[in-house]
Structure 1
């Protein structure tokens, strides 16, 4: 069983409009959450002990710098964690032209 961890980014969307785009592309309904660790309001689908997605602003809550410093121009981040469906998700995300795959890791 190969698990992938992918990171997508968007440059021009607000968090709420990004949520709408991602929900439409993936056919999932994301739940609003609030955490100082995640930088405030963020959205999540799934459970942390299995496949799950986290949609958030690219802001480090402690210093205000980008959370993903390699991608400072990407305002919105979508983490796809613990998935076996990486290629299927990538195909679905291509439907949302505002998101691009930034990182693909296999563990």
Structure 2
């Protein structure tokens, strides 16, 4: 399951997925949850190291290197219970296909997951990284 897809929510012992954003919003407001945004950005070049340096400098963070069978070499920053960032190629080396085939011109993907400050991050990222663009925004 893609991190940007709707999460499973639990009621009693039965799991169900809320796919209607309006229903999910009402559910979260009743349960006291806050809306989280999941942004996907893309780089128009294929230099993962240059993308890492650009993101780290723009946000003042340090992305940790990771390796995965499906992602290959990638970078991430996790904060428990808060937003997290993933920087990876738009290619799955295991299946030898694009992760996001709707963006074939994009070589590097940057996920901003679970943020409560999407507009602020968008302003910072797009102002400081000229070859980065917002591809998709989902609020749950």
Fold in common (TM above 0.5): yes
Taking only aligned residues, the RMSD between alpha carbons, in angstroms, comes to 1.3
Q: Note the alpha carbon deviations across 1:34-91, whole angstroms, 9 max, x for none.
A: 01132x1100012464310000000023322210011011000000101101111101
CA distance in 2, matches of 1:17, 1:41: 14
Instruction: Give the structure with higher Rg (CA).
Output: 2
> Which 4+ residue blocks in structure 1 deviate beyond 6 angstroms?
none
**Corresponding residue number in structure 2 for 1:56:** 88
- Would you say 1:20 and 2:53 are equivalent positions? yes
TM-score by length of 1: 0.92
**Corresponding residue number in structure 1 for 2:112:** 80
CA distance in 2, matches of 1:6, 1:60: 20
> Would you say the 8 A contact 2:44–2:107 is kept in 1?
yes
**Corresponding residue number in structure 1 for 2:125:** 93
> Would you say the 8 A contact 2:70–2:95 is kept in 1?
no
Runs of at least 5 residues in structure 2 that lack an aligned partner in the other structure: 1-33
Q: Note the alpha carbon deviations across 1:8-43, whole angstroms, 9 max, x for none.
A: 0011140000000011111110000001132x1100
CA distance in 2, matches of 1:61, 1:30: 21
Higher helix share: 2
Q: Higher relative CO (CA 8 A, sep ≥ 6), structure 1 or 2?
A: 1
2:69 to 36, 43, 68: 36
